[in-house]
Structure 1
């Protein structure tokens, strides 16, 4: 068994609230997993890498991505061919990894492109890409959020949801994404518009759970958030208008919340003169309420995950570090708490916590190397020339 030792760095392992200076760990080259870890004197080994006093922390797990979307075109990619979409999605995967994201969960992608790219990745055909939990297409009502060709199963009854979800699972979906409300990017609907009903979503949740998979709901306002919770979804995506009562229900049910703050922030920040006024106003009008509502949910004890909604307007695939900044400055988290949204909560939501998320013995050596201390300055993770390792192998 050949091994590689990494030495001379300060470690934030994703679980402990403190850094460990003078750290080292050893990685099995065959499995990519950490076999030993410590501080001070390192065991003798033939192959070692000196990280020269820098800071090591886990790679990010981003649980809300749309790799088939282009944040510069603003149309969700509805007019692109499957070939064009696949090439762009591959480039987006590489951008995610370069930014320090070592595992993603798809949250709706045209042509089931994330399912297909995952298969190619497992065959060794894709280079410099993060691990993938694909969703494939989403599930929406006719005329609902995301209703356009190639990206959505249109479903208008519990039976239609049941059949479509079974088809999605057959195709390789590992997450079932249900549309509970309208959204920012769809003309003619609003965050407060309920869309799929409780019974419709419950049918999707049941089918997902039968296969051991999770179900997520796009739910920005009410009553859609409440409907999704009553349907038993595993995560609320966005949740901008989550109430105190709903937060209590989420804690009781173990439901996760993915804020995607950077997606809502980017539209009024960069969209003036480019995006339609109705779209900018939807996002801008909700921002202060979003920060207040999600901050309250966090302080109550709702499990917050790391997701950026990457692919929405101006929301490029290198923005996970910005999400960490917003979690601290807008929701009141410490840097450690923000990072643990990824290293602990996102890993648990994806049911991969036994092998991913934290840098502990028995888990994959997926990590990023930073010049500055990320616990002292949350903006340190936005470093553009960071080193990124996947299973102990340097990718960037």
Structure 2
């Protein structure tokens, strides 16, 4: 195996909150096998001089919808499976170019993500981020996500059990359930409870039997509380999370994926383009969102990094912008990035191999011209270098 020495850079490894100057590491067979500062080791086969730039881990985005279109009002649910698959592959490349090296899906039409994952395993799809597929989400008849080929419609615990077992059989590696209404669905609201505690608990139990995590789309109450009582591993969105719910999340180790950019971009860009009812849902929630998330962070809730990519005006190149919003919750730049490098990796059960740039882990990283710990916006650099398993992709 070829040993490649990367040297002459400043390292933020995703675990520490400080940089290491004059850093180097060695990559062999896609993983870091040695790391240090100062004098570089001998005996490597290749050298890459990064010329004083800044290295940090690739991002983990744990809430994406590869088959959705951010340039349409309806998310592109009317597309064929072929159209969805072609777009999904393009979206994976956009994610990678932005610095995302690991993606967890949270609902895709036609189970396209599951099929793409199988192609990756068989070596038929390369040069894309690592992928944890969800397949179709679990919704109720008439609920958020009830669109053609987009969801299993479950209206009882038994129907949920059958749907989750089917999803797991097909290859889902995370189970997504709809606990509340949502922004993009006409006729329902963030405060509307949808799947019941009993239905969701059945889904959680079935997922956990296979060692698979369960996540809930839960924007308001009582749906957030219902999802927590059902035993969810993560709350997605969670805009109206209460102090009591935060305490329950800390106690149970439940993660929160805030998807702030999704909520921000609809009122920012949507006037005159999107229906006013959709914009109003986001605008009404914004002030409450920041107040609730600031409290959640102070109370110790573990935040992850997810963008809800595929929602309106929320393209697959936007992950770096999420960290700017996370700092507005009260995080330092390092704490914001650790939502990805530490918490997202843990939620995905891949922290042993992914997330931080430590010896023994996969060499997924990005190279920046400026210090990401001094200015959180520098990760938005368009022409950054991106490496997968030590091989440059961009």
TM-score range, shorter chain: over 0.9
CA distance in 2, matches of 1:231, 1:266: 31
Matches within 5 A, 1:269-308: 269-308=268-307
Task: Identify the residue that residue 363 of structure 2 maps to in structure 1.
Answer: 365
Moved more, 117-126 or 64-73: 117-126
Deviations 1:333-392 (A, max 9, x none): 100000000000000000000000000000000000000100000000000000000000
- In 2, distance between residues paired with 1:299 and 1:58? 25
1:331 aligns with 329
2:221 counterpart SS class: coil
Residue 236 in 1 paired to residue 235 in 2? Answer: yes
Q: What is the TM-score normalised by the length of structure 1?
A: 0.99
- 2:357 matched to 1:354? no
- CA shift, 1:310, in A, is 0.2
Q: Give the deviation of 1:75 after TM superposition.
A: 1.0
Deviation, 1:136, is 0.2
Query: 1:127 Cα shift?
Result: 2.9
Partner of 2:244: 245
Q: Deviations over 1:306-327 (max 9, x none)?
A: 0000000000001111100000
Q: Distance in 2 between matches of 1:210 and 1:263?
A: 32
Q: Does residue 189 of the first structure (1) align with residue 188 of the second (2)?
A: yes
- Alignment match, 2:382: 384
Question: d(CA) in 1 for partners of 2:120 and 2:287?
Answer: 40
Q: 1:18 — aligned with what?
A: 18
Q: CA RMSD in A?
A: 0.6
1:71 paired residue number: 70
Which stretches in structure 2 are left out of the alignment for 5+ residues?
A: none
Q: Which residue of 2 aligns with 1:341?
A: 339
Structure 1 residue runs of 4 or more that deviate by more than 3 Å after TM superposition: none
Secondary structure at the residue paired with 2:306?
coil
For residue 2 of structure 1, report the CA deviation from its aligned partner.
2.0
Q: Which residue of 1 aligns with 2:160?
A: 161
Note the alpha carbon deviations across 1:266-300, whole angstroms, 9 max, x for none.
00000010000000000011011001101110111
The CA distance in 2 between the partners of 1:290 and 1:383, in whole Å, is 27
1:196-230 deviation line (CA, Å, top 9, x unaligned): 00000000000000000000000000000000000
Question: Per the alignment, in what secondary structure is the counterpart of residue 354 of structure 2?
Answer: coil
Aligned to 1:2: 2
Q: How does 1:129-140 map to 2 (within 5 A)?
A: 129-140=128-139
- How far apart are residue 124 of structure 1 and its match? 1.9
User: Which residue is 1:205 aligned to?
Assistant: 204
Q: What is the 5 A alignment of 1:21-36?
A: 21-28=21-28, 30=29, 32-36=30-34
* Structural mapping, 1:248-267, within 5 Å: 248-267=247-266
Counterpart-to-counterpart distance in 2, 1:74 and 1:362: 44
Deviation at 1:119, TM superposition (A): 1.0
Task: Give the TM-score, by structure 2 length.
Answer: 0.99
TM-superposed deviation, 1:74? 2.2
